[in-house]
């Protein structure tokens, strides 16, 4: 029966912690807005992974990079 | 080529801006973290509630800084994947492994204990809370270790081998990567510089309270901790700074030459205390290096810093390009022309290897592999067109280095003066020094940023030292898209910075008397 009591304490710990936040509330809002902009906007629309978005497997990625490295020198 | 230069320049500018922005937050997290933990330790040991109040106040500022700065480093990883895809593929798991460990171990360590640190004052025992505070700070420090290990590998690629089949570097010895002398020195130098910044921040903000005649006891207690911790840290920083110079001299001699504006090498080389570079000087003309130069009055200081020997020969830019001088290993340094020839040979071997693999010619493949292995150390030189391209932006590196060193010396003096005056109970009456302490806060940030400029701009033209130059590391994307995201980041970072400074200032004005969470 110890586990449910522990989980309950854990739950109330975080519940009360978040409820009693003052400056922390503003900070959480700031963090969530920032993470939304970073992952839902910048990552999705502006920062696709160059190789992953063009090639399906490691072999073709390796081929592409090899070609690039050989091409620059020519 | 012009388009490529422009693409490389914009990609570099974007990476530099993101890294510099990220580095506004990290040092305060690391430095303030230790100071608040020391204060809480004093509270637990003595039971003095003033230490608890002080710890909680600095902890709130730590939290604001942490919240605004958290995840800004992830943007660098976006940039690796989008702007530097050749590089990202080429480094293989060398970068992936440390960053994955950083993400899993250190991040979760911080995330777990930081909530206990902020929410647990009345919910857990004093000792458990103290342990959580220390573990949060240790977690943040371990985070920085893995990032710095990855960065150090780019400066000194150790513990890996290049696989021409996958076109990737593969880790052969994790411990060589982790405990490379460059990585260890970089870790201590960087973290300890953060401790210095944290100390200056505490002294500066506490001085503001003294100027306002508010919370005098709290301010003086904080200043005492700040000066002792700051002085010890800044003296250790001298030692790790020497370590940095030593490793740069052994492995990145061009960086050292540029840091000191040294075009022509010499034995018993002096360190410049103050100098103005002659910008029309090139490595192959005979003009003077400086318009004005005042060396440190310790003969052979640069030789000692770089080689632990006051009489050692320090090669200049011209020597490094022309070769022919004796390396610390006893071998003779190769010229740029020879390194370029061997680099092209390595690239040709990579091409031969591919063709042999495609035709199934095992003998030709083995021969190409031998040619690649023999010349791989110079692989990157095959992409460098002319010798001048090996020289980093000398004014930027030179002045950044000297600003960093001068500020480092000033910080030691600052900690001594403040410490002595606080001990003699005179500091609270010296208003100009309190104002100076406040203005020293931005100087600490300048020192940290210039240090990174020296480390990173000084590495030019290499993404990975001598193995992969920037023009081969960059993704072939449009320059316009990099410019667009550069300005998007500039806007985002500016808004976040204004937000942080606003919240931080408001919280400082409330002072330690405000009970916050």
Look up the ipTM and state it.
Answer: 0.86
Specify burial of residue B43 (Cβ count, 10 A radius: 0-12, 13-18, 19+): buried
Rounded to a whole number of angstroms, the distance from the CA of A27 to the nearest CA of chain B is 6
CA distance B151 to B274: 30
Tell if the CB–CB gap between A58 and B166 is shorter than 8 Å. Answer: yes
Name the residue facing A21 among B81, B492, B517 (closest C-beta): B517
Task: Pick the range with the lowest mean pLDDT from A11-20, B174-183, B347-356, B478-487.
Answer: A11-20
The residues with which B326 forms a beta bridge, in sequence order, are B332
Q: Is the peptide bond before B461 cis (omega within 30 degrees of 0)?
A: yes
The pTM (predicted TM-score) of the whole model is 0.93
- Nearest C-alpha of chain B: how many angstroms from A40? 13
Query: In the prediction, which pLDDT does B309 show?
Result: 95
* A29 touches B at CB < 8 Å: no
Distances, alpha carbon B26 to alpha carbons B63, B198, B372, in Å: 12, 10, 40
Average pLDDT in chain B: 93
Cβ neighbours of A42 in B, within 8 Å: 75, 78, 485, 488, 492
The CA distance from B411 to B407, in Å, is 6
Residue B461 pLDDT: 96
Q: What is the pLDDT of residue A2?
A: 59
State CA B442 to chain mean position distance: 17
Position B4 scores a pLDDT of: 59
Tens digits of per-residue pLDDT, B264-323?
A: 999 999 999 999 999 999 998 999 999 999 999 999 999 999 999 999 999 999 999 999
CA nearest to B179, candidates B191, B188, B169: B188
- For range B429-456, the mean pLDDT: 98
Given an 8 Å threshold on Cβ–Cβ distance, is B123 in contact with A68? no
Is the confidence at residue B241, as pLDDT, over 70? yes
Confidence grade of residue B2 (pLDDT, cut at 50, 70, 90): low
- State the nearest Cα–Cα gap between A23 and chain B, in angstroms: 6
pLDDT (average), residues B76-93: 91
Interface test with A, best of B119, B368, B385 (most A CBs within 10 A): B119
* Model confidence pLDDT, tens digit, residues B482-502: 999 999 999 989 998 998 899
Residue B322 CB partners (closer than 8 Å, separation 6+): B335, B336
Q: Name the residue with tokens 């937050």.
A: B25
Question: How many other CB atoms sit within 10 Å of the CB of residue B102?
Answer: 19
B47: left (phi over 0), alpha (psi -120 to 50) or beta: left
Closest CA–CA distance from residue B295 to any residue of chain A (Å): 43
Paired tokens of B129: 């809370």
Q: What average pLDDT does the segment B101-116 reach?
A: 78
Nearest to B354 by CA among B328, B377, B372, B339: B372
The better pLDDT of the pair B87, B98 is held by B87
* DSSP label at residue B513: T
Angle, CA B221 vertex, CA B219 and CA B222 arms, to 5°: 65
**List of chain B residues whose C-beta atoms are within 8 Å of the C-beta of residue A47:** 78-79, 81-82, 485
Question: Shortest CB distance from B516 goes to which of A23, A49, A58?
Answer: A23
Q: Which helix (H) or strand (E) holds B460?
A: none
Q: Is the pLDDT of residue B3 over 60?
A: no
Q: What's the rounded mean pLDDT across residues B353-374?
A: 95
Pick from B85, B118, B488: CB nearest A50: B85
Q: In angstroms, what separates the C-alpha of A22 from chain B's closest C-alpha?
A: 5
Over the stretch B10-49, which tens digit does the pLDDT of each residue have? 999 999 999 999 999 999 999 999 999 999 999 999 999 9
């Amino acid at each position: 029966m110890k586990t449910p009591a522990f989980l309950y304490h854990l739950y109330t710990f975080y519940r009360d912690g978040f409820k009693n936040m003052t400056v922390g509330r503003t900070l959480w809002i700031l963090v969530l807005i920032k993470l939304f902009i970073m992952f839902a906007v910048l990552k999705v629309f502006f920062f696709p992974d160059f190789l992953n978005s063009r090639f399906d497997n490691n072999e073709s990625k390796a081929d592409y990079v090899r070609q690039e490295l050989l091409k620059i020198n020519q | 080529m012009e388009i490529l230069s422009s693409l490389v320049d914009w990609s570099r500018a974007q990476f530099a801006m993101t890294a510099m922005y990220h580095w506004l937050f990290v040092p305060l997290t690391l430095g303030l973290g230790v100071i608040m933990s020391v204060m809480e330790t004093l509270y637990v040991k003595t039971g003095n509630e003033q230490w608890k109040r002080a710890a909680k106040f600095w902890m709130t500022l730590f939290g604001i800084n942490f919240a605004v700065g958290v995840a800004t480093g992830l943007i660098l990883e976006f940039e690796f994947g989008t702007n530097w895809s050749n590089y990202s593929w080429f480094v293989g798991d060398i970068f992936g492994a440390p960053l994955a460990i950083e993400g899993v171990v250190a991040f979760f360590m911080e995330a777990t204990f930081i909530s206990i640190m902020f929410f647990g004052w009345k919910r857990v025992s004093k000792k458990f809370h103290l342990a959580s505070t220390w573990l949060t700070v240790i977690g943040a420090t371990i985070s920085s270790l893995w990032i710095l290990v990855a960065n150090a590998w780019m400066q000194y690629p150790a513990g890996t081998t290049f696989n021409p089949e996958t076109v990737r570097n593969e880790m052969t010895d994790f411990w060589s990567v982790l405990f490379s002398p460059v990585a260890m020195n970089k870790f201590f130098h960087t973290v300890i510089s953060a401790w210095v910044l944290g100390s200056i921040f505490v002294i500066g903000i506490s001085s503001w309270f003294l100027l306002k005649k508010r919370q005098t006891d709290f301010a003086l207690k904080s200043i005492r901790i700040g000066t002792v911790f700051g002085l010890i840290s800044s003296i250790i920083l001298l030692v790790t700074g020497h370590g940095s110079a030593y490793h740069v001299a052994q492995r990145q001699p061009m960086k050292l030459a540029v840091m000191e504006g040294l075009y022509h090498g010499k034995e018993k080389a002096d360190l410049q205390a103050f100098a103005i570079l002659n910008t029309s000087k090139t490595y192959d003309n005979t003009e003077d290096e400086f318009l004005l130069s005042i060396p440190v009055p310790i003969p052979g200081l640069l030789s000692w810093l770089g080689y632990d020997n006051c009489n050692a020969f320090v090669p200049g830019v011209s020597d490094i390009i022309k070769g022919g001088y004796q390396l610390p290993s006893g071998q003779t340094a190769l010229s740029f022309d020879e390194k370029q020839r061997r680099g092209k040979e390595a690239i040709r071997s990579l091409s031969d290897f591919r063709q042999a693999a495609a035709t199934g010619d095992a003998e030709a493949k083995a021969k190409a592999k031998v040619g690649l292995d023999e010349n791989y150390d110079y692989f990157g030189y095959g992409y460098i067109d002319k010798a001048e391209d090996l020289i980093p932006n000398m004014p930027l590196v030179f002045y950044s280095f000297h600003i960093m060193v001068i500020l480092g010396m000033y910080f030691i003096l600052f900690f001594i003066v403040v410490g002595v005056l606080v001990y003699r109970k005179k500091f609270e009456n010296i208003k100009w020094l309190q104002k100076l302490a406040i203005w020293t806060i931005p100087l600490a940030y300048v020192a940290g940023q210039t240090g990174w400029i020296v480390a990173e701009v000084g590495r030019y033209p290499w993404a990975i030292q001598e193995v992969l130059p920037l023009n081969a590391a960059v993704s072939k994307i449009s320059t316009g898209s990099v410019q667009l995201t550069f300005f998007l980041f500039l806007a985002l970072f500016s808004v976040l910075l204004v937000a942080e400074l606003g919240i931080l200032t408001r919280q400082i004005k409330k002072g330690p008397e405000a009970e916050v969470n």
